[in-house]
Amino acid sequence: MNNQLSNISTQYRKFSKGQYIEYTQFNEFLDFFEDQDRLSRVMLQGVGIVCGLKPSLTYTNRILSSIQLSQGVAVTTDGDLLTLNNTNKVSEDLYVSDLKTIDLESKSYTHFKAYDNFKVEYPAFYQGREQIELWELATAQEAGSGFQPIANLTDLEDKYLLLYLESYEKEVKPCRGVDCDNHGIQQIRNLKVLVTTSDGITNILGRDHIQPHPLFIDDVLKYGKQERVIVERLIEGQGIDTHFSSSDVKELYSAVLENNEYGRVIFDKINAIAQLIGHTTVYYDGFKSTLESFLTQKAGFQYAYDVVKDLADTYCEIIKLLPKAFTVNLPGLDSFPKHIMLGKLITDSQLDFSRHRFYNSSVLDDEKSTQKVRLLMSRFVQQVQNFQNFNVIDNGNAQIKIIPSQKLNPLSRKAIPFYYLVNDEFLKAWNFDKTSNRSFRDNLGYNNWLSPDAHIKEPLQFNIDNNSFYTIEGHQGMDYQKAFQQINQIKDQQQLAFDVMVLSLEDLVDNKDMFKAYFNEYVEKHPGLEHKRGVERGGTFIIVYESSEDPTVFADFSLPYICCTPKVKIGLSLPSSVICAGADRIPFTVIPVNGVVKASVTSASNGVELDNGKYFFNPKLVSSDLYGQAIGFTVNGKPTNCSIKVNAVPKVNIAVTSVVYADGDPTTATVEFNVSGQNFTDYTYSWDFWNNGGWVTLNPNSRGFVSYTFHNLNPKIIPTIKVRVSNNGCTQEIPFTNWYNAPSAPTVTFDNINFSDGINCCEGKTPVIKAEATGPGSVYLRDGSFVVQGQGDGPSPSSLLYSWEKIQGPTATLSGVNTPELEVKDLVAEEYVFQLTVVDVDSGLFAKSAQVVVNVINED
């Protein structure tokens, strides 16, 4: 069998007008463009399973009834694009192929039979001259003679699924008479779903140069992290009164390294990955010997622990990238030219070695995952080879350096430790991004002499806002007083945010030094100290020496907090964190009371005001440029958590644009308002249309219009309309008083007017008004509400209007203000006074009731 891409056509001929075309010329033309199409898929896109093609087993009465395969897409290394299909139309032409459809979600295979590949003799299916075991699956519609029900397929635990494009040429019978339509060689392409055994899949994988991948190594994704060394266990096990030596501390680290076999598991996995990807392996025994000799020293043993931890960190970076590292630059064209492995029929593993993944072209790999894996593998090799066994005891030339680094980022973004021999090759393997940008010499580290740039040689002189950690090196093996002095000198000169503490293994009698402590007592109070080869920002760096007779620093630790430096408590607070620009000033609470308060903004108009030795925040003194921003403050130059935001007073204009009366009825009026101003839709509008405390929220539309209809309005008692405009704590209240213009009454002329006796034309009959409470003059607060009942009488009882008014008392919710019955809710224990006004609409006369007094009593 010849694969399409085993011989690639690289040129073709253009035809001339009237030219007689040989079949070889025409086939050359077709072959060229087909080869280019296939090469584009394989080289520029990728090979393997793109999506779908996942099998699932269906059982009926615990018997296998079908194997369902979802629709999907796959590309072989010969450039074939494979999808499941069904016959859509059978061609009526003897020499034209049937039409297929791929518009389907899945196919259900219910039958199978033994498959013989004698027509093609596909190499992947043969062990020598013997074909591996293969069975062909078919749907109920496709099954013909020789097929049997899928329930007869045995030993499902040992079955693997394949998608196979059966590809061969078929000679057609020669011409019959003058009819040569059937002349030519037919190209057969049959898509088969096959099943094989574990032996068969092993044979197929033996020819696959792509599928073997580090991801399928047993336990490769299990982290090989280093155990922690917890110093507190010394005291827990032997007691606080036990005298410890440097060898006791060293034994903690030696025990962890021995239990971990000096990182042997990581070496085994790294070498297995290296063999699969064709990378250099590492020599474990030589590395172990270096560590063992390093541990014989009195000081510096912590660095033996550090280098194994570094290797574990590098391995962690590698395995995080492995699931993405399926990029293939030049896929082996013979790996799976006509088949795709779909995996084991029955499996609980998410990483199935017998299922092809998609191996995309490097042009589609934005992450460059495979390249990163290879670079990290190189870094692992460099770390092992360049870890140096050196004497850390001070020879007079030691120099302490503090290098900005990272606390949590991967090792590649941290400063390079001083215990590596650094050269160009090492630097190129340290950080993928910097190497890609040709800036590999910009890596920070103790040995930073390879770069001439000032920001690399003296990084503390430049911005280090993005650095959360300080690597501190060069002090171990030095006299503790000298080390303490040098570290503090650098810290103070560069204004670095950490403290330094010294611990002694001997009990310190009458110790007055706040920066020195007895090891046992300190560990008991601060059990979380841990060796980090430096200290995080805002932490405490701790150096440890043996005794006054042996003042050499042999270990260092750190705490994530500042624990020991004497401090003055700083505090600052305000009554509110948000204030309106038009509000009155508010006082600061300052600790200490004589502390100096300043705003953390450059503007002089920042609101801080000093009056008779007391600090206030005055929002009226704040520049409008600071509105809406959080203004922070310091006390005695130190930052605090206190902040406040000043919001601008709402600036909107509201006008009554029209008052419309329904059919000239003065008691029913619709009032139209127009709201304008910058960003007027950002505010909240609350309205009190009846001037009775009944506020409702009604926001204008996008054009600024608001309307409200009054019913049963008393033309003689026109309420003042109030609107509150609010935004972020600022409120502006706008009243409307002279908004009502009663409609003009029609003019009527009377020729003769006769008045009845006893009636004056200018006086009307005063309505009879009655008002009384429904209960006693007092109610309990627990009742929650009470009702005041009113009654009116006049010339036209059906045209009377009612209006209740609260004369006295706290705020309450009033219901039925314009009805004879008033309900009062949301009570407060106090006295309430109400009065009823009754208006005769026909005559315009009105009367007020006697005041009704109700006492709300709290039982307590």
In the 3-class helix/strand/coil scheme, how is 38-77 assigned residue by residue? HHHHHHHHEEEEEEECCEEEEEECCEEEEEEEECEEEECC
Residues 227 and 296 in one domain: yes
Nearest residue to 440 via CA among 379, 365, 374, 385: 379
Q: Is the pLDDT of residue 746 over 60?
A: no
Number of residues assigned to the chain: 860
Which of 640, 666, 682 is at the close of a domain?
A: 640
Residues 303 and 187 in one domain: no
> What's the pLDDT score for residue 758?
40
The position carrying tokens 């002189």 is 461
| Number of domains the chain contains | 6
Question: How much is the mean pLDDT over the chain?
Answer: 85
Residues 529 and 480 in one domain: yes
Q: How far apart are the first and last CA of the chain?
A: 102
The mean pLDDT of 589-603, rounded to a whole number, is 85
> What's the pLDDT score for residue 310?
95
> What's the pLDDT score for residue 844?
57
Q: What is the pLDDT of residues 372-389, one digit of tens each?
A: 999 999 999 999 999 987
Which of 736, 761, 796 is at the close of a domain?
A: 736
539-545 and 498-504 strand pairing: parallel
> What's the pLDDT score for residue 427?
92
Residues 248 and 339 in one domain: no
> What's the pLDDT score for residue 236?
86
Residues 283 and 378 in one domain: yes
10 Å CB burial of residue 800 (0-12, 13-18, 19+) is: buried
The answer to whether residue 434 sits within a structural domain is no
Q: Is the pLDDT of residue 448 over 50?
A: yes
> What's the pLDDT score for residue 743?
65
The answer to whether residue 467 sits within a structural domain is no
Cα–Cα distance, 666 to 743 (Å, whole number)? 6
Residues 674 and 791 in one domain: no
> What's the pLDDT score for residue 245?
93
Q: What is the pLDDT of residues 628-644, one digit of tens each?
A: 888 988 887 667 889 99
> pLDDT higher for 262 or 216?
262
Residues 6+ apart with CB under 8 A from 134: 114, 115, 116, 117, 125, 194, 195, 196, 200
What's the whole-model pTM score?
0.60
Residues 599 and 675 in one domain: no
> What's the pLDDT score for residue 567?
58
Range of the domain at 193: 1-207+330-364
The mean pLDDT of 218-243, rounded to a whole number, is 85
Q: Is the pLDDT of residue 716 over 80?
A: yes
Burial 443-452 (b: 16+ CB within 10 A, else e): bbbbebebbe
The answer to whether residue 106 sits within a structural domain is yes
Least confident interval from 35-49, 323-337, 385-399, 708-722: 385-399
Residues 267 and 279 in one domain: yes
> What's the pLDDT score for residue 745?
45
Q: pLDDT class for 840, splitting at 50, 70, 90?
A: low
Q: In what order do the strands lie in the sheet with 721-727?
A: 696-697, 684-688, 721-727, 730-736
Which alpha helices (DSSP H) does 207-300 contain, by range? 232-238, 246-259, 264-277, 284-294
> What's the pLDDT score for residue 197?
96
Residues 18 and 31 in one domain: yes
The answer to whether residue 34 sits within a structural domain is yes
The dihedral region occupied by 798, where left means phi > 0, alpha psi between -120 and 50, and beta the remainder, is alpha
The answer to whether residue 240 sits within a structural domain is yes
The answer to whether residue 780 sits within a structural domain is yes
Q: Is the pLDDT of residue 343 over 90?
A: yes
Least confident interval from 281-295, 560-574, 636-650: 560-574
> Quick one: what percent of the chain has pLDDT higher than 90?
41
> pLDDT higher for 626 or 799?
626
Q: Give the distance from CA 755 to its chain's centroid.
A: 89
Q: What is the dihedral of CA 312, 318, 320, 321, to 10 degrees?
A: 170
Q: pLDDT class for 765, splitting at 50, 70, 90?
A: very low
> What's the pLDDT score for residue 748?
39
CATH number of the domain where residue 800 is located: 2.60.40.10
Residues 624 and 552 in one domain: no
Q: What is the pLDDT of residues 184-200, one digit of tens each?
A: 677 788 999 999 999 99
Which of 640, 663, 689 is at the close of a domain?
A: 640
> What's the pLDDT score for residue 28?
79
Residues 817 and 839 in one domain: yes
Q: In what order do the strands lie in the sheet with 148-149?
A: 148-149, 111-114, 134-138, 185-196, 160-171, 339-344
Burial 85-114 (b: 16+ CB within 10 A, else e): eeeeeeeeeeeeeeeeeeeeebbebbbbee
The answer to whether residue 44 sits within a structural domain is yes
Residues 159 and 20 in one domain: yes
The answer to whether residue 753 sits within a structural domain is no
Instruction: Name, of 264-278, 395-409, 731-745, the range with top average pLDDT.
Output: 264-278
| Residue 330 and residue 157 in contact, taking contact as beta carbons nearer than 8 Å | no
The mean pLDDT of 55-77, rounded to a whole number, is 94
